[in-house]
Amino acid sequence: MPRYKLIVEYDGGPYNGFQAQAEQPSVQASLERAIAAFSGETPRIHVAGRTDASVHATGQVAHVDLERDWSADVVRDAVNAHLVPEPIAVIAAEEVDADFHARFSAIGRRYLYRVFDRRAPAVLDRGRVYWMKTPLVAEAMHGAAQVLLGLHDFTTFRDVRCQANSPMRTLDVATAARVGSEVHLTFAARSFLHRQVRSLVGSLVEVGVGRWSAADLKAALEAKDRARCGPVAPAQGLYLTGVDYPDQAAAKREK
């Protein structure tokens, strides 16, 4: 039974998150309907990370097993044809080994958060950025973010409904940089806690507007207390930009 790895992008605005839910629109349900429409099968896709409602993706990864041995290009194009006019696209597909798993084979996940800090509204990017009227100091945010790097107990930045067994996570990348009228924050780790990125962004915004210092952020981290987290940033500015795998795990099968 061939297994296909799919790289997917989507606008999360119209969906109640990635995961399929009864009577709620989801990215997973739309993808599975599209695959069923072209293949005649009843597919079940597996995904690297189940994004929340209104969270976007430019590099989400899923896999699906199909009975028929389709060309990967046919899978990509046929799924996209059945997704019109939904804001979801399979940007790449490849056949992979049977032991590849979109979630369990992943060794890293990368996120981008876009804050649009212009006095005038972000009309062309409404629903895709966090709009703030107050200007941010990106350099201060970047400097403060460095205290988050490495292995920490991230209880402060963990949603109370998080189901992870441990609050311990190793953050490999945490940056903030000015990009025109936006501040882009990037994060990378093997895995993240529920709403960890949005919680970190909200606290870094406090640094950017001058209400917190880097020392305040460090103290919040060390407190291991959810009540010490800054306001959680809204979902619409967040993007899953990529998932990393060992080269051998995603090796294309030999025909």
The average pLDDT across 88-115 equals 97
Which of 105, 123, 144 marks a domain boundary?
105
- Quick: pLDDT tens for 140-158: 999 999 999 999 999 999 9
Write out the DSSP string of 107-162: -EEEEEEEEE--SS--GGGTTTSEE-SS---HHHHHHHHGGG-EEEE-GGGS-TT-
CB atoms near residue 144 (< 10 Å): 23
Nearest to 240 by CA among 201, 187, 204: 187
| Whether residues 130 and 75 fall in one domain | no
Alpha-carbon gap, residue 200 to 225, rounded angstroms: 13
- Amino acid of residue 120: A
The enclosing H or E element of 207 equals helix 196-208
- Quick: pLDDT tens for 202-247: 999 999 999 999 999 999 999 999 999 999 999 999 999 999 999 7
Which of 82, 105, 128 marks a domain boundary?
105
| Whether residues 232 and 134 fall in one domain | yes
The pLDDT of residue 129 is 98
Residues designated catalytic: 52
Q: Is residue 7 part of a domain?
A: yes
Confidence of residue 23 (pLDDT cuts 50, 70, 90): confident
Confidence of residue 165 (pLDDT cuts 50, 70, 90): very high
> Above 80 in pLDDT, residue 252?
no
The pLDDT of residue 250 is 43
Which of 85, 105, 125 marks a domain boundary?
105
Confidence of residue 113 (pLDDT cuts 50, 70, 90): very high
Q: For position 141, which CATH number holds?
A: 3.30.70.660
The pLDDT of residue 21 is 86
- Please count the structural domains in the chain: 2
In the block, residue with structure tokens 């006095």? 119
With the C-alpha atoms ordered 165, 240, 3, 100, is the resulting torsion angle positive or negative? negative
The average pLDDT across 25-52 equals 95
The pLDDT of residue 22 is 84
> Above 70 in pLDDT, residue 255?
no
Strand-pair partners of 114: 184
Q: For position 101, which CATH number holds?
A: 3.30.70.580
- Domain carrying residue 189: 108-241
Could you tell me the pTM of the whole model? 0.94
Strands 182-189 and 168-179: antiparallel
| Whether residues 116 and 188 fall in one domain | yes
